[in-house]
Chains A and B, each alone.
Chain A
Amino acid sequence: MSNEWPLWEVFIRGQHGLSHRHVGSLHAPDAEIAIKNARDVYTRRNEGVSIWVVPSSDIVASAPGDKEPLYEPSNSKVYRHPTFFDIPEEAGPM
């Protein structure tokens, strides 16, 4: 069995009120040490207020080839955007 430490994906909340954002990955034997390593590797200059770590093997990603079935349908639904509707100026701000 390989003794290489498993890979973790690191997500950091940069500021209060923002979502966590993926910043990179690192190796660690367990979650607790992954958090400690993430602090050292990704927040040496106050880059964050909260850290998530997730085993990379648990990430499920969409395939690049699925781009069309996934995103094409929304291309034809332009009415989802507010600019689809012309509201006369007389109606006031909307």
Chain B
Amino acid sequence: MYAQEVKSTGQGVKSLEEMAPDERAFQEKVNAKIKIEPKDWMPEGYRKTLVRQISQHAHSEIVGQLPEGNWISRAPTLERKAILLAKVQDEAGHGLYLYCAAETLGVSRDQMTEQLLAGKAKYSSIFNYPTLTWADIGAIGWLVDGAAIMNQVPLQRCSYGPYSRAMIRICKEESFHQRQGYDIMMKLCAGTAEQKEMAQDALNRWWQPALMMFGPPDGDSVHSAQSMAWGIKQNSNDELRQKFVNETVPQAEYLGLTPPDPDVNWNEDKQGYDYGELDWNEFYEVLKGNGPCNKERLEARQKAWDDGEWFRDGLMAHARKREMRKQAAE
């Protein structure tokens, strides 16, 4: 998802009997759905897995502003521009809530930023695709935020208190994102033949990457069992992906658009839609840094960090000076 490649450090899932008293007490709390808070004892693997997952999630929110930000100055109307600005500002907020949640686990904001800029920390593969037309802004809201919601709703019940609370705030804001995207698609699909074609083209390009947001197929996702036992993960990747396809196909139909996959068909037995094999090779390549926009995204983050340095330092120097003056006057 927004954290697609969280390597957990735990080996296998231990049974309660195999655990030391501290760990057992911790696991019993998780099982009883009692939230774990920053100062509580927690296994080192739990802390590390959460730092990785929450920081990847935060980085995704921040980098995710870039493809959409690309269209702020070119939105077709002033109203669309204001809406897109508000949406992108929300994503900045989401990144900040999540960085704060990660910081409660003992990692600093600067450390996380450095890891992102050094290419050591991942962010979601989806944000390495380009936004070529205005219809892409519609498709992102509809599909990318739609997939994000699918993943984030269960994360509200995550065992770690600060992450769970950040997710609750985020989920409250996501519905607006998806709806404004679908609204753009509706407008385009009710427009001229060229506009409708633009919408179909955007769906064609975003469909697969959106389905890949849920991460590799369950069989290949080796770290799920421990994350589920720890209450960090609630559903399997394939489970959520299927749910997303089931919701999205009728929405595409309503628009008069067709998912770019001939295998999308209603399956009466499973009461859901079948869909074709996804190109996981592409997914791993994008994660490795070889997607169409990986380089551009990191360069943009690096530039923002470098260009903002004088400002961050200046404000800090000013704050220190004022503090010293205040102390001298006392």
Which A residues are closer than 8 A to B by beta carbons?
2-5, 7, 23-27, 29-30, 33, 40-42, 44-45, 61, 63-64
Contact = CB atoms under 8 A, between A and B. Distances in A.
A3 B315 CA distance: 10
A28 B37 CA distance: 24
Interface residues of B, number: 26
Contacts of A29: 312, 315-316, 318-319
B26 to A, nearest CB: 11
A27 B313 contact: no
29 contacts: A2-B110, A3-B312, A3-B313, A4-B108, A4-B109, A5-B312, A5-B315, A5-B316, A7-B103, A24-B97, A24-B166, A26-B96, A27-B109, A29-B315, A29-B316, A30-B315, A30-B318, A30-B319, A30-B322, A40-B89, A41-B93, A41-B97, A42-B93, A44-B90, A61-B39, A64-B37, A64-B39, A64-B40, A64-B41
Interface in B30-46: 37, 39-41
Contacts of B319: 29-30
Interface of B: 37, 39-41, 86, 89-90, 93, 96-97, 100, 103, 108-110, 165-166, 169, 173, 312-313, 315-316, 318-319, 322
Tell me the dominant secondary structure on chain B's binding face.
helix
A40 B97 CA distance: 12
A50 B322 CA distance: 25
B90 A25 contact: no
Contacts of B108: 4
Contacts of A45: 173
Nearest to A62: B39
A25 B99 CA distance: 9
Given A3-B316, A4-B108, 12 more contacts: A2-B110, A3-B313, A7-B100, A23-B169, A25-B100, A26-B100, A29-B315, A42-B93, A61-B39, A64-B39, A64-B40, A64-B41
